[in-house]
């Protein structure tokens, strides 16, 4: 394995896979240093990538002041004026797909080939889509009330603070950056401390695209430090957060003091329901996909619920296919699953599996670190018929750990599917359209995929039910959050001309 090492090539600059990365914050169009730093390592092999500035209250205040100062002019540009710059930014992302893909893989250990072919092209699309949506689609027909005309508009709202996770750093950030900037808000992005690199490089691209200073800012550091300082700030207009439920609760408490609107996309423990009439090969294919990104996907259908009559056949085929998964260096073309993001997270995943073992769970595949690879690689794991009340069934593990449970009737499957505190997504596999429609209607989740997985259209609403989130993103739903939605009611009376 090549060592995945970054190197410090000067004060505040590191080089990672040949790309220079500024380790400072990006505030008001300038690079800003902090007194303290934190060390960033690669999950591929634990090697040192660089020391990154560790922001505090001071940098949070600076970033909010810069974003606030830049807001009036950015808002005044209008969707078309902003669109020209955002479309240029999307082009720059496209020109830098290879660099972004390499950086992100080094930083979060996800597959290089999927960063190249799927994720980074989508980053560009996220920006382009929302810029174009603001120009072409964001409108509501006027309507009359007793001769008065109602005119609906989506006005810029102010400074949006975006707090993002490490599992798909730039992809998830641009789901927020795209609509926030297109709506006319100015932005402060705080990426996760385990994946600071792509955000820093992206900041350089916003500068190149001509996005005015202060419109887009990146601050680096820990959630409990600069993250907490940002979300408690009285001068911000929106908080959009993707991450865990406990952190969301802390952020919600801070937001409450200022009544700052929040949008939360949180965890999941999604079911993958395989009805008796399902195409078993399709069901197996979809179920095995749930190991993607080493299980570090909030949408993953980690609870495989299979009708008892087909469970043995399903488990056999599943195991056959899952045992062929190639785990290894995410930079290798053949690799299908890479490492966990960080030692802390790896220990957390292993802890769940160890406790399941101790309580007598039947682990029929995996269940341990991959001894052929050093470091953070955990084997794809299947827990057979675990106790439905055990934590491996009810909590989000966020690793390559799936549970297989059986049911007898559709009603039982629906009850099991809906039995956790989460409701982000559900996968349903059935050979019968009416039956699938009836079951899908009763599943509680923001997205239901029927005989498919991960089909995501930016025009569609995306978000979680129950503890999986607050609000929806996508199409107008994104703008409903980032913008101030306004109704101007114009009377037919009182005009002089
Ligand atoms: P995970 O447990 O998966 O790392 P978190 O929800 O803790 O997920 O982290 C997601 C993002 O939230 C990260 O950018 C992290 O720095 C940030 N974060 C963590 N704690 C706080 C906090 N108290 N206030 C603001 N942001 C936070």
**What range defines the domain where residue 120 resides?**
7-266+468-486
The CATH number given to whatever domain includes residue 322 is: 3.40.309.10
Answer yes or no: are the C-beta atoms of 270 and 424 closer than 8 Å. yes
Instruction: Please indicate, yes or no, whether residues 36 and 59 belong to a single structural domain of this protein.
Output: yes
Instruction: Please indicate, yes or no, whether residues 45 and 185 belong to a single structural domain of this protein.
Output: yes
Q: Which atom of ligand 1 is nearest to the CA of 244?
A: 6
Q: Does 376 have pLDDT greater than 80?
A: yes
Residue 374 pLDDT grade (very low, low, confident, very high; cuts 50, 70, 90)? confident
Instruction: Please list, in sequence order, all residues whose beta carbon lies within 8 angstroms of the beta carbon of residue 10, skipping any fewer than 6 positions away.
Output: none
Active-site residue, from 59, 265, 276, 396: 265
Total domains, the chain: 2
Instruction: Please indicate, yes or no, whether residues 219 and 248 belong to a single structural domain of this protein.
Output: yes
Q: Which atom of ligand 1 is nearest to the CA of 167?
A: 3
Please check whether residue 1 lies inside any domain of the structure: no
Instruction: Please indicate, yes or no, whether residues 58 and 108 belong to a single structural domain of this protein.
Output: yes
Answer yes or no: are the C-beta atoms of 388 and 407 closer than 8 Å. no
Q: What is the pLDDT of residues 118-157, one digit of tens each?
A: 999 999 999 999 999 999 999 999 999 999 999 999 999 9
Please check whether residue 459 lies inside any domain of the structure: no
Instruction: Please indicate, yes or no, whether residues 260 and 393 belong to a single structural domain of this protein.
Output: no
Instruction: Please indicate, yes or no, whether residues 145 and 256 belong to a single structural domain of this protein.
Output: yes
Q: Does 231 have pLDDT greater than 50?
A: yes
Q: What is the pLDDT of residues 258-309, one digit of tens each?
A: 999 999 999 999 999 999 999 999 999 999 999 999 999 999 999 999 999 9
Q: What is the pLDDT of residues 418-450, one digit of tens each?
A: 999 999 999 999 999 999 999 999 999 999 999
Using CB distances shorter than 6 Å, the residues near ligand 1 are: 163-165, 190, 192-193, 222-224, 227-228, 231, 243-244, 247, 250-251
| pLDDT at position 9 | 64
Distance 376 CA to ligand 1 centre (A): 21
Q: What is the mean pLDDT of residues 451-458?
A: 96
Q: What is the pLDDT of residues 78-128, one digit of tens each?
A: 999 999 999 999 999 999 999 999 999 999 999 999 999 999 999 999 999
Instruction: Please indicate, yes or no, whether residues 229 and 122 belong to a single structural domain of this protein.
Output: yes
Percent residues over pLDDT 90 in the chain: 97
| pLDDT at position 12 | 92
Please check whether residue 492 lies inside any domain of the structure: no
Q: Which atom of ligand 1 is nearest to the CA of 165?
A: 10
Q: What is the mean pLDDT of residues 166-193?
A: 98
Active-site residue, from 193, 298, 396, 473: 298
| pLDDT at position 11 | 79
Q: What is the mean pLDDT of residues 42-48?
A: 95
Q: Is 265 a catalytic residue?
A: yes
Instruction: Please indicate, yes or no, whether residues 164 and 307 belong to a single structural domain of this protein.
Output: no
Instruction: Please indicate, yes or no, whether residues 332 and 371 belong to a single structural domain of this protein.
Output: yes
**Does the pTM exceed 0.95?**
yes
Please check whether residue 157 lies inside any domain of the structure: yes
38, 43, 165, 348, best to mutate for ligand 1 pocket (most atoms within 8 Å of CB): 165
Please check whether residue 494 lies inside any domain of the structure: no
Instruction: Please indicate, yes or no, whether residues 17 and 143 belong to a single structural domain of this protein.
Output: yes
Instruction: Please indicate, yes or no, whether residues 479 and 420 belong to a single structural domain of this protein.
Output: no
CB-CB neighbours of 380 under 10 Å: 23
Q: Is 368 a catalytic residue?
A: no
Please check whether residue 295 lies inside any domain of the structure: yes
Instruction: Please indicate, yes or no, whether residues 284 and 193 belong to a single structural domain of this protein.
Output: no
Q: Does 5 have pLDDT greater than 80?
A: no
Please check whether residue 496 lies inside any domain of the structure: no
Phi, psi of 221 (to 5 degrees): 140, -170
Q: What is the pLDDT of residues 398-411, one digit of tens each?
A: 999 999 999 999 99
The CATH number given to whatever domain includes residue 109 is: 3.40.605.10
Please check whether residue 495 lies inside any domain of the structure: no
Q: Does 57 have pLDDT greater than 50?
A: yes
């Amino acid at each position: 394995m090549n060592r995945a090492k970054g190197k410090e090539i000067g004060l505040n600059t590191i080089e990672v896979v040949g790309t220079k990365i500024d380790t400072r914050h990006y505030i008001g169009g300038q690079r800003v240093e902090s007194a303290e730093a934190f060390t960033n390592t690669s999950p591929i092999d634990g090697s040192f990538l660089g020391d990154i500035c560790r922001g505090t209250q001071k940098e949070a205040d600076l970033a909010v002041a810069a974003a606030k100062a830049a807001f009036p002019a950015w808002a005044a540009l209008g969707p078309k004026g902003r669109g020209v710059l955002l479309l240029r930014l999307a082009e720059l992302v496209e020109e830098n797909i290879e660099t972004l893909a390499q950086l992100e893989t080094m930083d979060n250990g996800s597959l290089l080939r999927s960063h190249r072919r799927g994720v980074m092209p989508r980053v560009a699309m996220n920006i382009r889509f929302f810029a174009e949506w603001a120009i072409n689609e964001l409108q509501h027909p006027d309507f009359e009330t007793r001769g008065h005309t109602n005119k609906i508009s989506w006005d810029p709202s102010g400074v949006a603070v975006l707090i993002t996770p490490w599992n798909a750093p730039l992809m998830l950030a641009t789901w927020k950056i795209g609509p926030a900037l297109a709506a006319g808000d100015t932005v402060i992005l705080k990426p996760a401390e385990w994946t600071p690199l792509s955000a820093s490089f992206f900041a350089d691209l916003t500068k190149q695209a001509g996005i005015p200073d202060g419109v887009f800012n990146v601050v680096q550091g820990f959630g409990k430090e600069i993250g907490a300082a940002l979300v408690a700030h009285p001068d911000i207009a929106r908080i959009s957060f993707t991450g865990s439920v406990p952190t969301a609760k802390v952020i919600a408490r801070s937001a409450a003091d200022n009544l700052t609107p929040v949008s939360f996309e949180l965890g999941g423990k999604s079911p993958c329901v395989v009805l008796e009439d399902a195409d078993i090969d399709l069901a197996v294919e979809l179920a095995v996909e749930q190991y993607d990104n080493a299980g570090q996907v909030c949408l993953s259908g980690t609870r495989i619920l299979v009708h008892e009559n087909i469970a043995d056949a399903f488990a056999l085929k599943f195991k056959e296919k899952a045992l062929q998964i190639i785990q290894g260096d995410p930079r290798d073309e053949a690799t299908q699953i890479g490492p966990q993001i960080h030692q802390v997270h790896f220990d957390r995943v292993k802890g769940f599996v160890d406790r399941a073992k101790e309580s007598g769970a039947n682990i029929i595949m995996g269940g341990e670190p991959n001894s052929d690879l050093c470091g953070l690689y955990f084997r794809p794991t299947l827990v057979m018929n675990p106790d439905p009340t055990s934590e491996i069934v009810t909590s989000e593990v966020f690793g390559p750990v799936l549970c297989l449970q059986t049911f007898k009737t559709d009603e039982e499957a629906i009850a099991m599917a809906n039995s956790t505190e989460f409701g982000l997504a559900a996968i349903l596999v059935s050979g019968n359209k009416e039956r699938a429609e009836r079951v899908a209607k009763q599943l509680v989740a923001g997205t239901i995929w029927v005989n498919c997985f991960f089909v995501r259209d930016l025009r569609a609403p995306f978000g979680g039910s129950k503890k999986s989130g607050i609000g929806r993103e996508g199409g107008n739903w994104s703008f409903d959050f980032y913008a101030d939605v306004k109704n101007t009611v114009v009377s037919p009376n009182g005009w002089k001309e």
